[in-house]
Amino acid sequence: MHRNPVALEPRHAVTTPIAPAAANEITTLAVNTMKFLAIDAIEAAKSGHPGLPMGAADVAYVLWARYLRHDPKNPHWRDRDRFILSPGHGSMLLYGLLHLAGYDLPLDELKHFRQWDSKTPGHPEVHLTPGVEVTTGPLGQGFANGVGMALAAKMAQARLPGLFDHHIWALVSDGDVMEGVSYEAASIAGHLKLGNLTYIYDANNITLDGRLDEAFDEDVAKRFEAAGWRTETIDGHDHAQIAAAYDAALAQSEKPTLIIARTHIGHGAPNKHDTHKVHGEPLGKDEALATRKALGWPEETFVVPGAVRAHFADRAKVMADARAQWEGHEQAWLAAHPELADLYRKLCDRTAPDDLLETLLAKLPPTNDATRALAGTIEQMVAAAMPSLVGGDADLGGSTKTPIKDSAKVTAADFTGRNLRFGIREHAMGSIANGISLYGLFVPFTATFLTFSDYMRPPIRLAGLSNVPVVHVFTHDSVFLGEDGPTHQSVEHVSALRLIPNVDVWRPADSAECAAAWAAAATRRDGPTELVLSRQKVEVLPGDPTGRGRAAARGGYVLVREEGGDAQVVILSTGSEVSVAVEAARRLHAEDGRRVRVVSMPCLEVFARQDPSYREEVLGPAGARRASFEAGRTGLWWRYLGLDGLALGVDTFGASAPGPVLGDKYGLTADHVTANLRKWLRGS
């Protein structure tokens, strides 16, 4: 079947149509089935967005029935095409397709659309519904995720030549192309000439509140062409034009493609067709009945004609054969490329060595440098042990210390490198990283200043929601940044990140804690990890660094244990402030006779997951009074402090001045901390 042991059959071998390109009886029946599955599910839920599933049914049907390479029985087939529904509000289009295609999504799940514990939530969620590649809903995110997947596919093909031949497809909407993140991502895709990327723009000229031209009238084609895309405009209801556009996209590999499909929202609804009323609310009983009559559909709900089931079953057989062919090709490729077999396995597993933390601790940087520099040195060791680690920065690599040494930058001509140049596009950087991770072979990292996490909050939140393993490196973590002033000085950002569920935020205090943080980030597989690092130098902490690193891996540990009896005072601290807390504790003990414990808390989220007995042991006896000290907002520390606790930090914006001056003005020095602790302990 193969022309040689490592050759894939050409794509047309699995895109041969099972029906003519032009619409006929069975294709019309299939499209109407898709429309009414959406209508019926949304009517049953009494909420939803029927307009997009009805208007985009034709472009989606042609793609899924003739072009998309996938196997419903093996949703994670590595050589599958990826399909992203970026306007996630049209989720019933995707759920209907998944059900008809043969994925494990029974009709009963469609009947429970938007209901508790169903696999058909209001917006698609990856890892919840078989066949859903990306969690979408916030417009623009799916668009940018697809760019990340296309970039990952290029990097995979460069590392494993001849193994893969797949394409990234997405349906995007007016809302997607209006969101700024989409243009950031489109710019990167055009710059890198991602010819393995095709987006179908459902251009229906309607938004939730009215006509598109009330807010948006630019020439989208010219904008994307200026960004390096090829564009084509078609009638989104003409199957012959749709198929020709898909063929043209696949026939070239030099540019990403945007197919502008002119469609009618709510296509087929007699009275709501082409109106914003069909965008975000059910058709209603009367209009649903009128649509049935107009399209000759029975009044019974959730009807799937037997001919349509057979039609999609035939396609499933073609896809099963394609997957079986590729698996044979995979085995032949592995036999022909034994030197790449180990790399392939490591990329598939995205594993790090079991002894990664111990390896890092054995080679710790010895200096009292900034944690950005210490973590940067440690990152090089992680990269050497973990070929799946790739990443880049927002034009700040010299400051974040994150470029992987001895590795090239990814360019349009060479995707073998591990360093990505995202440019000054933080929002797209975070969203593209999610797509790279969801592709399945890489663990991506991003890097920028902590204050610019504001630009990345949407993809960080979605990474937490979607259990996406990605690492975000944030440097310049506090007012100690100094002269750049309050626009760049983070005070609320660590707390803001900690508020996002399923996000681990590490703020290490020295090289040992940096090693624990990177080991945790590299091995986490159920969500994102934030590494928050200092620009200013940190002091070397007391005690054995190897033991500290092992203890830090639990998120919080006793750094300095009290002397002379049970602790009277426990100081909780993170990052560069830990050494100041150690000095304050020393003074309180030496000068005041206080029994003081210092707890370093590099990751509150990991610490919260420890067993209660460990947490209680670290936090000290019930009678001890607790204080926290961190150069940022103080509010989240009260969960550990109690009503008589003390939270020391910065609850205002910063100022432009040298770091030491700011430390003095904001009470962050050992003198100030000691004085504030004494005042608190005296009760005045």
Q: Is residue 36 domain-resident?
A: yes
In a domain, 271, yes or no: no
* CATH code where residue 389 lies: 3.40.50.970
Q: Are residues 207 and 178 in the same domain?
A: yes
The last residue of a domain, from among 501, 532, 563:
532
- Say what the alpha-carbon torsion angle 346, 350, 354, 359 is, to the nearest 10 degrees: 90
At 4, the pLDDT band (50, 70, 90 cuts) reads very low
**pLDDT, position 127:** 87
Q: Are residues 252 and 393 in the same domain?
A: no
* Residue 9: pLDDT over 90: no
Does the residue 96 lie in any domain? no
> If pLDDT is split at 50, 70 and 90, which confidence band does 28 have?
very high
Share of the chain above pLDDT 90, in %: 94
Mean pLDDT over 654-663 rounds to 96
Q: What is the 3-state secondary structure (H, E, C) of 286-309?
A: HHHHHHHHHHCCCCCCCCCCHHHH
Statement to judge: residues 625 and 500 lie in one domain: no
Residues 208 and 76 in one domain: yes
Q: In this structure, is residue 89 part of a structural domain?
A: no
Q: 12: pLDDT confidence band, cut at 50, 70 and 90?
A: very low
Contacting residues for 133 by C-beta, under 8 A, at least 6 apart? 82, 83, 84, 126, 149, 438
- Which residues have CB under 8 Å from 600's CB, separation 6+? 509, 513, 541, 548, 552, 556, 557, 559, 573, 574, 578
Name the residue among 206, 292, 266 with its Cα closest to residue 51. 266
* Assigned token pair, 36: 């009414």
Indicate if the pLDDT at residue 8 is higher than 70.
no
Do 408 and 507 fall within a single domain? yes
Q: What average pLDDT does the segment 188-204 reach?
A: 98
**Kindly report the CA angle at 142 between 138 and 146, in degrees rounded to 5?**
165
DSSP-derived 3-state class of residue 126: coil
Question: Of the residues 287, 379, 426, 630, which is catalytic?
Answer: 426
Angstrom distance (rounded) from CA 150 to CA 180:
20
Q: Report angle CA 169, 171, 177 to the nearest 5 degrees.
A: 115
| CATH number of the domain within which 637 lies | 3.40.50.920
Residue that is last in its domain, among 532, 567, 592: 532
- Please identify, among 497, 532, 567, the residue that sits at the C-terminal boundary of a domain: 532
Same domain, residue pair 525 and 619: no
Evaluate whether residue 591 is within a structural domain.
yes
| pLDDT tens figures, 48-60 | 999 999 999 999 9
Mean pLDDT of the chain: 95
Tell me the C-alpha distance between 265 and 439, whole Å: 31
- Residue 684's pLDDT is what? 54
Residue 22 has pLDDT above 80, yes or no: no
Q: Which two tokens stand for residue 211?
A: 């006509």
Question: What pLDDT was estimated at residue 644?
Answer: 93
Answer whether residue 92 is part of any domain: no
Provide mean pLDDT across the span 405-418: 97
Task: Give the confidence band of 6 by pLDDT, cuts at 50, 70, 90.
Answer: very low
The model's pLDDT over 541-574, given as tens digits with 9 standing for 90+, comes to 999 999 999 999 999 999 999 999 999 999 999 9
Q: Catalytic residue at 330?
A: no
Which residue range forms the structural domain that includes residue 40?
12-81+141-265+302-325
Tokens describing residue 335: 């036999």
Per-residue confidence (pLDDT) for residue 351, from 0 to 100: 86
584-619 tens-digit pLDDT = 999 999 999 999 999 999 999 999 999 999 999 999
For the segment 303-332, the average pLDDT, to the nearest whole number, is 97
Count CB neighbours of 252 within 10 A: 10
Share of the chain above pLDDT 70, in %: 96
pLDDT digits (tens, 9 = 90+) for 149-184: 999 999 999 999 999 999 999 999 999 999 999 999
Query: pLDDT tens digit string along 436-476?
Result: 999 999 999 999 999 999 999 999 999 999 999 999 999 99
The answer to whether the Cα torsion of 97, 100, 105, 108 is positive or negative is: positive
> Burial code of 512-546, b = ≥16 C-beta within 10 A, e = fewer?
bbbbbbbbbbbbbeebbbbbbbbbbebeebeeebe
Q: How many CA atoms lie within 13 A of 98 on its CB side?
A: 25
Q: What is the reported pLDDT for 18?
A: 52
* C-alpha–C-alpha distance, residues 489 and 483, integer Å: 9
Q: Identify the bridge partners of residue 647 per DSSP, sorted by sequence position.
A: 628
Specify the number of domains making up the chain: 3
Residues 215 and 167 grouped into a single domain: yes
Residue 288 lies in a domain: no
Q: What is the pTM of this model?
A: 0.96
Q: Which residue has the tokens 């514990």?
A: 117
Residue-level pLDDT at 401: 97
CA distance 582 to 598: 6
Whether 499 maps to a domain, the answer reads yes
pLDDT reading at 96 higher than 60? yes
The span from the CA of 54 to the CA of 38, in Å, is 8
Is 371 found in the same domain as 478? yes
Residues 408 and 523 in one domain: yes
Same-domain check for residues 321 and 377: no
Asked whether residue 510 carries a pLDDT value surpassing 80, the answer given is yes
- Asked whether residue 525 falls in the same domain as residue 558, the answer is no
- Indicate whether 316 and 364 sit together in one domain: no
- Alpha-carbon dihedral sign for residues 362, 365, 368, 370: negative
